[in-house]
Amino acid sequence: MELQLVWQTRQKWGRILLIVFLVCGYFYLTKTSRSAVQPIEAYLSSRRAVSNASTGSLSLLTYNVAGLPDVISAATTPRAQSMRAISKKINTFDIVNVQEDFHYHDDLYKGGNRHPYRTAPKIGMPYGDGLNTLSNYPILESRRISWKDCHGTDCLASKGFSYTRIQLAVDVNIDVYNVHATAQDNAGAALARRKNMQQLADYIRQYSNDQAVLVMGDFNAHYAASWDNVLRFSERTTLTDAWVALERNGTVPPIHPQFRAADKLALTDTCESIDKIFFRNSLHVEFTPRSYKVEKQQFSDNHGEPLSDHCAISFVLNWKKK
């Protein structure tokens, strides 16, 4: 009982401190434009020669790593320890998009990760946008864009999406987007999220119009939810959902009048996840999807406990220079 009271007190004060930090951060962030494009440099732990390949395979991963401090995190495993485990486990994937990379960023990057190209984190008060991309291929350019619309406590963080141009081979470049949309399913949050998706679609249409594109991240949205616009987003951008393509033979789930989101950690390969991966060909690069997987086993600790409060989603595809 005493331990329980100590834990409850710790959580209470942790939440109070977080609110103070977020309020301070809100005033800091409102000094700059929420929609401003913020170019940043990718930094390299080592350089690799660019190949002359005209075909290849890519293994992709999107993962919300639940990087808030232990006292307020929804994840059940110790965060610093879990982040160091994640740091090593993501090494097997060519391109990784992470969301909520906040408080334990050093554990993620220095806990055994070997990706030679990684985006430098966005600095904010108390945290940045939590979006980072780790790659086995050179990152030629990187930008961060804040949402123009938000709702509730999401407005106290600098959430949005990031853009990176990645070089697979000589004369073979692709545009990769990392997304963290507004959370919650109440009316205000759903409206903000729909506007998030419209903003992202407009950006892709403007800046990646003729490019091969990958979009990976935490969309906080479902096809089956009447208040979301995932289908409209994919139609406007001509993007293909990896899960829809491989697990549903190209058939998008219909809207369900009484839709309720399932537990994020109860996912199977056949269930729709709010963590999504989209792809699109160009006149110069063609993608062929191979496999989609909810990576439960790989991203669990030695006791079978998940390392985050989200499941990691992987997608393997072939690429070909046309």
pLDDT, residue 94, reads: 98
pLDDT band at 23 (very low <50, low <70, confident <90, very high): very low
pLDDT, residue 82, reads: 97
Identify the bridge partners of residue 51 per DSSP, sorted by sequence position.
none
Helix axes 187-207, 230-237, angle to 10 degrees: 10
Task: Please state which CATH class domain 2-321 belongs to.
Answer: alpha beta
pLDDT band at 33 (very low <50, low <70, confident <90, very high): very low
- The proportion of the chain whose per-residue pLDDT surpasses 90, expressed as a percent, equals 77
User: Comparing 155 with 20, which gets the higher pLDDT?
Assistant: 155
**Is the pLDDT assigned to residue 310 strictly greater than 70?**
yes
CB distance 313 to 63 below 8 Å: yes
Domain spans in the chain, listed from the N-terminal domain onward: 2-321
pLDDT band at 222 (very low <50, low <70, confident <90, very high): very high
**Is the pLDDT assigned to residue 125 strictly greater than 70?**
no
> Cβ atoms within 10 A of the Cβ of 285, count?
20
pLDDT band at 9 (very low <50, low <70, confident <90, very high): very low
Alpha helices in the chain (DSSP H): 2-29, 79-89, 105-110, 187-207, 230-237, 242-247
Rounded to whole angstroms, the Cα distance separating 7 from 138 reads 44
**Is the pLDDT assigned to residue 28 strictly greater than 70?**
no
Radius of gyration of the chain (CA): 19
- The proportion of the chain whose per-residue pLDDT surpasses 70, expressed as a percent, equals 84
* pTM for the whole structure: 0.87
Mean pLDDT of 291-300: 97
pLDDT tens track for 141-190 = 999 999 999 999 888 778 999 999 999 999 999 999 999 999 999 999 99
Q: Is 33 exposed, middle or buried (0-12, 13-18, 19+ CB in 10 A)?
A: exposed
**Is the pLDDT assigned to residue 118 strictly greater than 80?**
yes
Mean pLDDT of 270-294: 98
| Residue 45 in tokens | 């732990």
pLDDT band at 47 (very low <50, low <70, confident <90, very high): low
Q: What is the DSSP string of 193-250?
A: HHHHHHHHHHHHHHHSTTSEEEEEEE----TT-TT--HHHHHHHHT-EEHHHHHHSTT
pLDDT band at 5 (very low <50, low <70, confident <90, very high): very low
Residue 60: name the closest of 210, 185, 213, 206 by CA.
213
pLDDT, residue 4, reads: 41
CB distance 218 to 67 below 8 Å: no
DSSP three-state, residue 22: helix
User: Comparing 61 with 42, which gets the higher pLDDT?
Assistant: 61
